Structure 1
Amino acid sequence: MVNEKVELIKQLVQIPSPSGNTGKVMQFVEDYFTELGVQTKRNRKGGLVATIPGKDNDQHRMLTAHVDTLGAMVKEIKANGRLKLDLIGGFRYNAIEGEYCQIETAQGELITGTILMRQTSVHVYKDAGTAERNQENMEVRLDAKVENAEQVRKLGIEVGDFVSFDPRVQVTDTGFIKSRHLDDKASVAILMKLVKKIVTEGVRLPYTTHFLISNNEEIGYGGNSNIPPEAVEYLAVDMGAMGDGQATDEYTVSICVKDATGPYHLGLRKHLVQLAEANQIGYQLDIYPYYGSDASAALTAGHDIIHGLIGPGIDSSHAYERTHIDALEQTELLLYSYLLSKLIAY
C-alpha cells in the first residue's frame, strides 16, 4: 500500500533546494495547497504561508516546517578544472565526502559531479586517510572534459553557483526512509498531508491556523517574520536529534524541551505531553544541545508568542539521514490532536 507521506518525502527530497535557491520546491508545495483550495501567500523572503480559517479568528496558531536544505556554493574555480566549495548550513565536510552533486549555473544548466578529497587516491597520497576534511582539501570533480578554469567557465559555471547533494532516497521493506534532507522535508510532508486531511474531511479547526513553509531555516532566520499579531502559539515541526545521551529515537515523536537557544515554553510542552498520553501517541522528551529552530528564531526576533518544537526522530542529522514511518505517523497524530485542542492559558 502506498503511503502518501512517504511518497511526498521522496518527491520533496529529489527537488534540489539549498538555502537561497528554493524556488522549485516552494512551487511544488504551493501547487499542492492550491489544488486543495487552501489560501496561500508568499513572503518577500520566498517563504509560503497557507492559512485555514478556524472558529476563532481573534486568536491564531502557527505551525512551521522548512523546505530549505544544506548545500554549497562554488567558492573558486581551481586551475585544475575542479571546484572549491563554500558550505551552506551547519555541517561538516566529512558528511559529504564521496557524494554525487549537481551544480546549477546562472543560466539554469545542470552539471553533475562528485565531491572528493584532493588526496583521495591511496596509490598516490600517503595521507589519504588522515588529511583533514576541509575546504582546502575537498573539491568537486566535474563530469565534463575540463582541465583548467577557462574550460569550466565555458560550461557556464561561475563563483556563486549553487551546489546540491544527491539525496539517494531509499524506502526499505522494514519501514525505514533513508535520504539526505529529511531535515526538514519529512516534516514538510507531514504538514502537507495534515492540511489535506483537514480540508478533505471538512474538519473545522478551533482557531485560524497558519502553516509556514520557511526557506531560510538552515541559515538561521526562516521563521522569524510574517507572524500575524493574532498568533498566540507557534510550533516548529523539525527533526528530533539522535545520538549518545539522547532519548529521541526513530519510532516516536520527539518533543524538545531545550536546545542551544534555551528552554521551550513549559506550558506548551506540558500540553503536548498530555495530548500524547491521552491519545496513546509514542513520544520522547529531549534536549538538543547544538540546535536552533524557526520557533527560537521567531522569539529572538522579538515576537510575543508561545513557542514549541516537535518532530520525528531522525538519525545521523546533517549527513545521510534515516527515520522510520512510525515516527512520521506519531508526529502527525500529535499535530492533529494539538490542532483540535484549546490554546494553553498564558
Structure 2
Amino acid sequence: MTTVQGQAPTLAEATATAAAVRHAVQQVVVGKDEVVDLALVALLAEGHLLVEDVPGVGKTLLAKALARSIDCSVRRIQFTPDLLPSDVTGVSIFNQERGDFEFRPGAVFANVVIGDEINRASPKTQSALLEAMEEQQVTVDGRTYPLPPPFLVVATQNPVEMDGTYPLPEAQRDRFMVRVAMGYPRPEDELRLLGTHVGTDPLLAMSPVADAEEVRRAVAAVAEVHVSEALRHYVLALTQATRTHPDLRLGASPRAGLQLVRAGRALAALVGRDHVLPDDVAHLAVPVLAHRLLPSARGRTARKDPATVVREIVAATPVPGARG
C-alpha cells in the first residue's frame, strides 16, 4: 500500500492498512479471527494488548505475527524472575573516553515490544513499563527519552494459577487497552495446524504488508472517527455501573472509559465506518473493561468473574436510540 506524502490520512487508508495486516496475521494464526481483530483494535487505537491463556495455544505466535506484518522496529523481552527494570528501560553507563555518562536504550525502545510471559517477572520489573505504556517515554536518571511512534506493547501471560507467576499490578492491567484469551482451536483448525505447522515455522514465510508510516497515518485517521454525545453517555453509564456493582470492589477507571471510546473508533474503522455504533461499544466492553476489575467478596462467593459482571451490566444498560 502506498500513501501520498503531505496529504491528510483518510479512513480508507486506515481500513486498507488494517485489512492487509489482518490477512497476513490470519495466515499464521489460524481460526482466531476475533482475536486478530481485537489485536488490530489495539494497534489502531494506540493501545496495548494483553494475551492471556494457558501455554501452547499461540499467544507468542500472535504477537510475533502482528510484529512481522509491519515493517518497523521490533524488540522482544523474555520476562523472567531475574529480569531487571534497567533491562527494560535502559541504563546510563560511564564512558571513560568521553568522561561522561551515556544512555544505552533498553528493549522498550521499539515500535512493537513483545513482552513474553510478562507475569513471570517481579512486580518491580513489570512496573518498569508503566511510564512507557502511558506516556510513550522513559525517564532514566532524571532525563526523559521519547519512544518512537507507533508504540505498541503486546504482552503474553499465563494464568496466575500456573507455577512461577506473579499477578500483574492493578496500575499495569489498567494500561492494557484490550485483553484477549486465545482459547483452544476448533478441531478443524487444529487439524489444519497439524498439516501446515509441523516441521516448518509459518513466521518465516511472512513479509511486511505495511510500514510504520502507514500505521501512523492509520492511527491518525482512526482518531477522527465520529463518536456521538449519546454514545459518550452510554460509555459513561457502563463504567459508572462497574463502580457501584455489589459483585465488584474495583470498578473501571476514567482511563478505561477513554480507551473504550478509542477502541470503538478502531473497530468502526476496521469495517470502513466513519462513526461508532452502540454495538461496537457493547462488543468491546468485556475485552476492554473486564481485566481492570476486581471481584468483591460477594462476587467471589457467587463465583462470578468480572467478565460475567460486565456482560450483565451491558445487558442492563439502556442503549442510545434503542430504549430509554
Question: What's the TM-score bracket when you normalise by the shorter of the two chains?
Answer: 0.3 to 0.5
Q: Which of the pair is proportionally richer in helix?
A: 2
Task: State the TM-score, normalized to the length of structure 2.
Answer: 0.33
Task: State the TM-score, normalized to the length of structure 1.
Answer: 0.31
